Structure 1
Amino acid sequence: METAGKSVPTIPGNTFLYQLKRKLPYIISYGILAVTTLPVIFMYLWLIIQSFASNMKYGLIPEGFSLENWEFLWTNIVYKGAELPSIWTATWNSLFFAGMLTVLEVLIGVMAGYALSRLTFPGREQILKITMILHAFPSIALLIATFYILNFMSLYDSLFGVVLVKTALQIPMTTWIIKGFFDDVSWDLEWAGLIDGCSRIKVWFRIVLPQVKPGIASVSIFSFLSGWSEFLLLYTFIVSNENVTLASFLQRLTSDPNMVNYGVLSAISLFYLIPVLVFFIFTQKSLMKANVGGVKKV
């Protein structure tokens, strides 16, 4: 470095302090992230080790390697002297429940969101105002009323019946999110299609829907994850072994704290996580592209 024709030597200490000052915000941010995420990472590591260990000394130190905890993949578990349903039956039921929920929620939410965004009809503003209020109702407050409705419709102990209940509870939020994405689509695109002779449905399907693919993708992902992790409604309204899901299956293993086999419980918990991880790996790009659309008009 030169000043007024004279060279000034660079002081190493000043350079170090300057670099430290620049990196201090990153150091603090990563430090906070490490402190908050390490406990979660350790819990998952414990889960993996516990599922493959023949014994855990003091609950932390694995002793020996064994696949005994994973025998539920090819044999049924006997718990309290009774044989539990097949894990594959529970897995299929969980996939059916999450898949049906996703299809119905996205289909209804997309149509309702478009109608609220583009169409003018009596009561539109009132519907928009009460949408979030409907979503705010906790599921547990509606259990008794839901039981009477499902029983009256002969849908008690039916996966499809619970799918309808879960869909009804999720639709308000889905509609609100999708409406925000439709609000961001320019009217000019629709007018261009209508001028070219396309019908309103054709314009919606071929021109508008492709513009809101990120919103549809994000809603689909969250719908599937919500259905896959659902417990309360399924635990309350599903009683037969033929309709049991993985969440209810895990609850049965923990119904008696004195008889819990933590090795088997850890293995089944990992098995429960695998579809979610696979689903996230294939959908993370769509999820990262999605941003919550702005609700610009009421």
Structure 2
Amino acid sequence: MTSNYRKWPMTLFLGILTAPLILMYFYLFVDTVTNSPPGSMIPNEWTLEHWRFLWQTLPGKPTIWVATLNTFIFASSTTLIVLFISSAAGYSLSRLNMPFRSFFLGGIMVLHAFPTVTLLIAIFLILQMVGLYNTLTGVILVKASLELPFGIWIMKGFYDTVPWEIEMAGIQDGASRFQVWIQLVLPQVKPGIFSLGIFSFLAGWSEFILPLVLAPSNDVQVLSVYLSSLIFDETNFDMGLFKSIGLFYVIPVIILFLFFQNKLMNIYSGGTQG
């Protein structure tokens, strides 16, 4: 009971800090289902007009469901690629006596330090050469490649925390190195895999620059590009519609964060050794 009394000042302080943010999202939702008189912030009528994109196709744009499906495929595929390669490469760097291991680790950090925008021209030319420009496959491969340095480094940190005795016991029982990795080591780093998966999915879901430059057509348009196209439509710009689509876009992120915020914090608990 005493500890609860000690915590209430911090709880009150954090509540005051977050109250404007919660109020902002609440007003954003109210604003998407109401209309207000010109020059007023107080709504005077309820309406679903701003949510018409759910059942109507906006002029010159794909349906919202096509853009949502593209975004989900983009984020999910990126996550799967990052998890598979990072899990394998992180284990190799942590456990195997690879040649040029230190050089490879340093190269990973250098690659992670490069801003995406500095590589856009080179990536654009390469995708055109291999025939993957303006395809969802091309932008998925690019996004996954750019996320891999961070993912590999994080997974190596989690593998470094796994005791060697677990692997030695498996090898002495006759298991192969692959079996030891799959059956004994991977279960020990589940928090890292789970948190990296969520982080990679959110990074893919919120990506804007790569889909805008590398996959601009309507057939492969994702929600971030779909939303930005409303801003450039100067003749038919609708602020209420823009807010509604923005809220539709951010809802999955809010849900994931509310349910898995503790898992997301685990991504920084690895990497303390090695």
Q: TM-score, normalised by structure 1?
A: 0.84
Deviation at 1:280, TM superposition (A): 3.7
User: What is the alpha-carbon distance in structure 2 between the residues aligned to residue 38 and residue 154 of structure 1?
Assistant: 49
**What does residue 60 of structure 1 align with?**
41
**What does residue 189 of structure 2 align with?**
212
Instruction: Report whether the alignment pairs 1:253 with 2:230.
Output: yes
**What does residue 42 of structure 1 align with?**
23
User: What is the alpha-carbon distance in structure 2 between the residues aligned to residue 290 and residue 226 of structure 1?
Assistant: 14
**What does residue 226 of structure 1 align with?**
203
Matches within 5 A, 1:70-85: 70-78=51-59, 83-85=60-62
Deviation at 1:277, TM superposition (A): 3.2
Matches within 5 A, 1:167-182: 167-182=144-159
1:174-224: CA deviation from partner (whole Å, max 9, x where unpaired): 111111110000000000000001110001000000000000000000000
Deviation at 1:52, TM superposition (A): 0.2
1:248-278: CA deviation from partner (whole Å, max 9, x where unpaired): 0100111146743111111111111222234
8 Å contact kept, 1:50–1:262:
no
Instruction: Report whether the alignment pairs 1:243 with 2:220.
Output: yes
User: What is the alpha-carbon distance in structure 2 between the residues aligned to residue 97 and residue 263 of structure 1?
Assistant: 27
Q: Which amino acid aligns with 1:217?
A: F
* Structure 2 unaligned spans of 5+: none
**What does residue 95 of structure 2 align with?**
118
User: What is the alpha-carbon distance in structure 2 between the residues aligned to residue 192 and residue 59 of structure 1?
Assistant: 71
Q: Which moved more, 1:103-112 or 1:273-282?
A: 273-282
Q: Which moved more, 1:267-276 or 1:209-218?
A: 267-276
Q: Which moved more, 1:93-102 or 1:46-55?
A: 46-55
**What does residue 183 of structure 1 align with?**
160
8 Å contact kept, 1:90–1:249:
yes
User: What is the alpha-carbon distance in structure 2 between the residues aligned to residue 46 and residue 177 of structure 1?
Assistant: 38
8 Å contact kept, 2:81–2:144:
yes
Assess, with a 3 A threshold, how the Cα gap between structure 1 residues 45 and 57 changes in structure 2: closer, same or farther.
Answer: farther
8 Å contact kept, 1:98–1:226:
yes
Deviation at 1:113, TM superposition (A): 0.5
8 Å contact kept, 1:177–1:292:
no
User: What is the alpha-carbon distance in structure 2 between the residues aligned to residue 288 and residue 235 of structure 1?
Assistant: 30
Q: Which amino acid aligns with 1:111?
A: A
**What does residue 80 of structure 2 align with?**
103
Aligned pair partner of 1:86 in 26, 44, 63 = 63
Greater Cα radius of gyration, structure 1 or 2: 1
8 Å contact kept, 2:196–2:267:
no
Higher strand share: 1
Q: TM-score, normalised by structure 2?
A: 0.92
8 Å contact kept, 1:238–1:244:
yes
Deviation at 1:143, TM superposition (A): 0.7
**What does residue 127 of structure 1 align with?**
104
Q: Which moved more, 1:127-136 or 1:52-61?
A: 52-61
Assess, with a 3 A threshold, how the Cα gap between structure 1 residues 257 and 37 changes in structure 2: closer, same or farther.
Answer: farther
Q: Which moved more, 1:219-228 or 1:231-240?
A: 231-240
8 Å contact kept, 1:55–1:62:
yes
User: What is the alpha-carbon distance in structure 1 between the residues aligned to residue 111 and residue 268 of structure 2?
Assistant: 23
* Structure 1 unaligned spans of 5+: 1-18
User: What is the alpha-carbon distance in structure 2 between the residues aligned to residue 58 and residue 195 of structure 1?
Assistant: 77
Percent of aligned positions that are identical: 43
Assess, with a 3 A threshold, how the Cα gap between structure 1 residues 256 and 267 changes in structure 2: closer, same or farther.
Answer: same
User: What is the alpha-carbon distance in structure 2 between the residues aligned to residue 174 and residue 223 of structure 1?
Assistant: 8
8 Å contact kept, 2:199–2:264:
no
Assess, with a 3 A threshold, how the Cα gap between structure 1 residues 229 and 32 changes in structure 2: closer, same or farther.
Answer: same
**What does residue 270 of structure 1 align with?**
247
8 Å contact kept, 1:50–1:56:
no
Q: Which amino acid aligns with 1:208?
A: V
Deviation at 1:288, TM superposition (A): 5.7
8 Å contact kept, 2:93–2:156:
yes
User: What is the alpha-carbon distance in structure 1 between the residues aligned to residue 236 and residue 100 of structure 2?
Assistant: 56
Moved over 6 A (4+): none
Deviation at 1:36, TM superposition (A): 3.5
Q: Which moved more, 1:189-198 or 1:270-279?
A: 270-279
